[in-house]
A and B are shown apart, each in its own frame.
Chain A
Amino acid sequence: MQQQSVTRGGVRSRLGRYNELGLFAVAIVLFVLFSVGSPYFFKVRNLSNVLGQISMTMIAAVGMSLLMIAGEVDLSVGSLQAVVALPLLVIMNRTGSFWLGVVPALATGLVVGLINGFLVTRMRINSLIVTLGMYYLLRGLVYFLTGKVPISDSSNDPSFFAVGNAKLFGLLPVMAILMIAILALCIYVLGSTTYGRRLYAVGGNAEVARAVGINPERMKFSAFLICSLLSSVSAILLASRLNSANHMAGQGFEFQVIAAVVMGGVSLSGGRGNLTGALFGVLIFGLIQNGMGLMSIDTQYQLVITGGIIVAAVAIDELRHRRA
């Protein structure tokens, strides 16, 4: 009996280690596939664009991973993208300074995180419902405030353009540098600090966490704040790419982020996963979208393929953790 359970564990944990290796292999295959499939794929310019693109998603995905590891989820990050751009553009256009616009933009994100966190941890409402409500509410708010007309940049602050579009040595996007910094910090926090360890404990089993003196509500609350804050950072980058505050910005973004993170091995039920996996998930997602675009695959097929990938990712997540 003893022997048997040990062997079983061995196989399982080896599978766990192979997870990232498997994702890496998938990324390589896609890379080769698209390089062959389109002459425009394997070009410095395109690859540098892909890197910028995934950086934007990844910054939000880091926050989402932290939140999902704590056992909750946030569907409002896409709508938040549109909301955050409003104070950014309005203040920036008034003051002529990008950096003065950043402050209210991030503050707006934090307020939304605060509301989500409050409703989930204090009012004890399911996070799926709370953030689904927020998803509609925020989008409606943007429609209302903008009258469905984009607000363009009239500040002419070069920093605004630079954050989303500039490349170091014409190669490395500023967004990527920002992403790597955030990713590195959060890998450290998750893997080597008491905060990270407690986050896993809370998502793994909140009752156990409570019994060892951790306050699960407080941990989850903080994770909501981090998730909204990082989504706001990516919202600022998106606004820079679009050079405006657009009421349509970030539509479907929440699902893209969640799907990528789940594909990377972060469990929907909490307590499992890490950021390296999430990075691979985002990378694969980004490659597929870019590659399919370049191969001029029809939109309807793109949607079907993307949908298939989301379902497959969740199915695989389920199969891997299914108890015997």
Chain B
Amino acid sequence: MNETRALLEVRGISKEFPGVRALAGVDLDVQAGEIHALVGENGAGKSTLIKILAGIYRMDAGAIRFEGAPLELHGAHDSLRMGIKVVFQELALIKGLSVAENVFLESFPLRAGRRIDWKMLRTRTREILSSIGLDIDPAVKVERLTTSQQQMVEIARALSHEAKVVIMDEPTSALTPKEVELLFAVIRRLKEMGKGVLYVSHKLDEVFSLCDRVTVLRDGQHIATRPISETNPNELVTDMVGREITALFPHTHGGRGECVLSVRGLSTREKLKEVSLDVHAGEVVGVFGLLGAGRTELAKAIFGLDGASGGAVSVRGARLRRGTTHSARSGLGLLTEDRKGEGLVLQMSVSQNMTLPSLRDFSTLGWIRSRTELSRSREFVQRLSIRTPSLKHKVEFLSGGNQQKVLLARWLMKRLTVIILDEPTRGIDVGAKAEIHRLIDELAKEGLAVLVMTSEMPELLGVSDRILVMSGGRVTGEFDRNDATQEKILAAAIA
């Protein structure tokens, strides 16, 4: 490794979000002609780090050096200009424009009079595409390409800027095995061209077949950087999970009752493949999976938000008709992961948000008994210790944790049979997290069947009676609370 030089050097980067320390003094370097893997569980800090390198977030402390010179990033355009290209999972392409236009989006080749030189545009695009061994027509519109081809266009765009470092964020999550092979070939081409590639993934098999070195992050900290040839998957898994679970999770609910939620062979067109599961009254079932495993899709499909292409959901033995109206009336509740987009009506008050599904319970012939509504709301604000200036306060202005509690209150008020919680503690602070965990325990004690989708290992192990592990839209493992270990779970999640 003596002939290589560090293209990109990151030293002691820290980043804090309200209530969360996302990165704490992380070091990383990417050499020219190297494919460097960045691995870690969800929440380890991978995304934060690449967003800093993309110029989207600003770091609180630390330094970045590019080709030996200090690099200051002020905005999303900066890093690209400097020669760092990040290919995010959400591709940043303009679908209605052609491949060539996308490749040269920020710097069209011009002729006299600032007119676009279309001929040059196409020729150069074709050159770039063939330099990484691709045969895509530069004139075709991006929207007509497959996801994999669109990814290639993003890489080509990096080359049009003569980027020296290409960062790929979970690039294979939406690809078929064949497309993955093609992508790997392109990435290896980049390596031969002397580019540095930072390959962010949690799929260890990919890391071992593609990369030269690997850096492991855990809870925002740099754990280890090892040459691939000197490590093995087991060691990496240990690096990734090697944390002691210190937080105390209340676990007071006892024996489980009859089976109230039963899912059989549930599939969706895009993601889920024949998922079956049972949840009993008074039981908390945790569903774990890494990014893209299909947790959210499962939650939505059970609730009837995403059209299922096959399978059946039954609540208390009665098969559910499709559609959320039926789900809500059958005693099924869903706490979505996307609080603002799919959970809250931001313009409405705390109380109005809580009572939305249960208005019928305190209205007579369509007239809302507002005093009952307010007293019911007050009861839940106290029970869940929601911090809000008043019941009529707009929910928009509460903190994330309190918003989440408002949503929980919404479903508690409704007296459910089954509640599905999708990432119930994402993005909320530690104190509120503990309260949500206490509430989950309480729900089970009251006899609800609770299904918790989570990507956080401590939460999973802390709250669940039974654990299901998902990967690639399937259930790949099931463990009892007593014999689940982090290593076993992660092994099933990577499978």
The chain A residues found within 8 Å of chain B, CB to CB, are 1-2, 5-6, 8-10, 12-13, 192-195, 197-198, 200-201, 204-205, 207-215, 271-272
6 nearest A-B pairs in the assembled complex, by CB-CB distance: A9-B397, A213-B328, A204-B345, A212-B357, A194-B359, A271-B347
- Contact at B327–A194, with CB atoms within 8 Å? no
Q: Which residue of A lies closest to B362 (CB)?
A: A194
| Interchain CA distance A204-B343 in the complex, whole Å | 11
B116 close to chain A: CB less than 8 A: no
- Contact at A200–B366, with CB atoms within 8 Å? no
- Contact at B398–A5, with CB atoms within 8 Å? yes
- Contact at B356–A9, with CB atoms within 8 Å? no
| Interchain CA distance A12-B328 in the complex, whole Å | 33
B360 close to chain A: CB less than 8 A: yes
- Contact at A213–B329, with CB atoms within 8 Å? yes
| Interchain CA distance A146-B357 in the complex, whole Å | 50
| Interchain CA distance A211-B341 in the complex, whole Å | 11
Number of B interface residues at 8 Å Cβ cutoff, please give it: 38
B201 close to chain A: CB less than 8 A: no
CB proximity of A240 to chain B, nearest CB, Å: 33
B389 close to chain A: CB less than 8 A: yes
- State whether A213 and B394 are in contact (beta carbons under 8 Å apart), knowing that A2-B387, A5-B399, A205-B344 are contacts in the complex: no
B363 close to chain A: CB less than 8 A: yes
B303 close to chain A: CB less than 8 A: yes
- Contact at B363–A193, with CB atoms within 8 Å? yes
- Contact at B348–A192, with CB atoms within 8 Å? no
| Interchain CA distance A6-B394 in the complex, whole Å | 10
- State whether A194 and B363 are in contact (beta carbons under 8 Å apart), knowing that A8-B397, A200-B345, A200-B348 are contacts in the complex: yes
Q: Which residue of B lies closest to A11 (CB)?
A: B397
17 pairs of residues in contact across A and B, judged by CB atoms under 8 Å: A1-B399, A5-B397, A8-B397, A9-B397, A13-B393, A13-B394, A192-B370, A194-B366, A200-B345, A201-B356, A208-B342, A208-B343, A211-B305, A212-B357, A213-B328, A214-B325, A271-B347
Residues of B within 8 A of A215 (CB): 325
List which B333-354 residues lie within 8 A (CB) of chain A. 334, 336, 341-348, 352
- State whether A208 and B345 are in contact (beta carbons under 8 Å apart), knowing that A194-B363, A213-B357, A215-B325 are contacts in the complex: yes
Residues of A within 8 A of B19 (CB): 1
CB proximity of B117 to chain A, nearest CB, Å: 37
The listed residue (B336, B347, B360, B397) touching A272 by CB distance below 8 A is: B347
Q: A200-B347, A205-B342, A205-B344 are known; give 4 further A-B pairs, CB within 8 A.
A: A8-B397, A10-B389, A197-B368, A204-B348
CB proximity of B238 to chain A, nearest CB, Å: 36
Q: Which residue of A lies closest to B328 (CB)?
A: A213
B324 close to chain A: CB less than 8 A: yes
CB proximity of A275 to chain B, nearest CB, Å: 16
B410 close to chain A: CB less than 8 A: yes
CB proximity of B342 to chain A, nearest CB, Å: 5
Contact flags B297-340 to A (C-beta < 8 A → 1, else 0): 00000010100000000000000000011011100001010000
